[in-house]
Structure 1
Amino acid sequence: MIVERKIKVVTEQHNINKPAAQEGYPMKEWTVELYILDQDGKERPARCFTKVTYNLHPSFANPIQTFNDPPFKCTNEGWGEFEMIIDMYTTEKGGKISIAHDLNFQQSEYENIHTVTFRNPSQALQQLLRETGPLPSDEERKQKKAVDGGSKKKRPYDIERMADGLTKLGEDDLLQVIQMIHDHKDDNTYIQNNLDAGEFSVDLYTLPDNLMKMLWEFLVKANVVS
């Protein structure tokens, strides 16, 4: 699954009453903040990121500055313009998204919007991303859920009871279920397999019907659904 979101970087700057470090260049105080935009283009806290690191010009005494809470406000003083790299981190393994930001003093306030990509986000990160708009699989899940809810008598399985039944399985049975899913999934199946953390998650609404039937029969034999 690939999810795109727009990130807004807001910069404010003004002159301060301090001796110029470089002749002809007044000292400035500047602030950079970071937001995520929802589907209506409104600013929202970028809670999808656990921390944001600003990589400033190496002439700064503290050129690498990290902030852990939205809007990840970074404030400094200086006289020169430069391009910084902003690293935005999620909880995913290798979950770092980087953008380049041009710090300049042409306006007292300006905004830059960047489109960023989240690849195969975990279920937890998906929930945070849903705060700013639907995910690519949401419409498909909604349609399948509606069909399942409207025709339970015609289908040999119940997805909600299936989800509940899976939580009741022992470790050996769960390993069989995971192998079954890997063997019979299709291109629309969404799974997240984090081997390092020992976590496996699957969106049941993206499983093909034949796999749904197989899983249901397995759960029935395991006496966790009826």
Structure 2
Amino acid sequence: MIVERKIKVVTEQHNIDKPAEHEGFPMKEWTVEIFVLDQDGRERPAKCFTKAVYHLHPSFANATQTFTEPPFKCTNEGWGEFEMSIDMFTTEKGGKSTILHDLNFASPTYQQIHTIQFKNPSQALQQILRETGPLPSDEERKLKKVDGGKKKKSFDVEKMADGLVKLSEEDLLHVIQLIHDNKDDNTYIQNNLDAGEFSVDLYTLPDGLMKTIWDLLVRAAVV
């Protein structure tokens, strides 16, 4: 699953009453903040990130600056314009997105919009992302939850979730193998080999695979 969100980077800058380090270039104080835009284009706290690391011009004494709370406000003083890079991290393994940001003094306030992709987000990150808009799997989730007058499905997803945790280790490994062998492009799974964990969004499984797993749970008398 790939989830996209628009990230707004807002910059504010103004002159400060300090001696110019270079003639013709007044000293400035500038601030950069990071927000997420929801589906209606409104600014929301960027809680999908755990920290933001700003890589400033190497002339700064502390050229790498890290912030761990939204809006990841980075404030500094200087006289020159430059391009910085910003690394934004999630809790996911390898969950880093990098954007380039042009710091300039043409306007007192300006903003830049970037599109960020979250690849196979964990269940916890999915919940945070849902605060700013639906996920690709949500429509399919709704279709599977609503009967809509069509033929009633022969399995109950909620009961499946309860039944899976009651399976023996052998049967559970068999289910995991079934999912690996029969998943499709819409199936969301996540393996954490280091922690020995496997998670799956049952609502993203193909109907045929759901029926196979349901029948196994019935035979194991856990649903």
Bin for the TM-score computed over the shorter chain: over 0.9
Moved more, 34-43 or 111-120: 111-120
Name the structure 2 match of 1:214.
212
Name the structure 2 match of 1:190.
188
Matched residue type, 2:49: F
Name the structure 2 match of 1:124.
124
CA positional deviation for 1:96: 0.5
Matched residue type, 1:52: A
TM-score by length of 2: 0.94
Unaligned runs of 5+ in 2: none
Q: Distance in 1 between matches of 2:150 and 2:191?
A: 31
CA positional deviation for 1:223: 2.6
Alignment of 1:13-162 (within 5 A): 13-147=13-147, 154-162=152-160
Matched residue type, 2:120: N
Q: Distance in 2 between matches of 1:184 and 1:10?
A: 45
Q: Distance in 1 between matches of 2:184 and 2:113?
A: 36
User: Quick one: which of 178, 181, 184 aligns to 1:180?
Assistant: 178
The 3-state SS of whatever aligns with 1:139 is: helix
Matched residue type, 1:182: H
Unaligned runs of 5+ in 1: none
Name the structure 2 match of 1:5.
5
Q: Distance in 1 between matches of 2:11 and 2:3?
A: 26
Matched residue type, 1:164: D
CA positional deviation for 1:3: 1.1
The 3-state SS of whatever aligns with 2:93 is: coil
Moved more, 135-144 or 28-37: 135-144
CA positional deviation for 1:168: 2.5
CA offset digits 1:79-136 (Å, max 9, x no partner): 1100000100011111100000000111111111111111121111111111100011
**RMSD of aligned Cα (Å):** 1.6
TM-score by length of 1: 0.93
The alignment-based identity, stated in percent, is: 76
The 3-state SS of whatever aligns with 1:116 is: strand
Name the structure 2 match of 1:202.
200
The 3-state SS of whatever aligns with 1:173 is: helix
Moved more, 194-203 or 175-184: 194-203
CA positional deviation for 1:205: 1.4
Matched residue type, 1:39: Q
User: CA 1:103–1:183 in structure 2 vs 1: closer, same or farther (change >3 Å)?
Assistant: same
CA positional deviation for 1:63: 0.5
CA offset digits 1:175-214 (Å, max 9, x no partner): 2211111122223322122223322111111212221122
Moved more, 62-71 or 122-131: 122-131
The 3-state SS of whatever aligns with 1:214 is: helix
The 3-state SS of whatever aligns with 2:146 is: helix
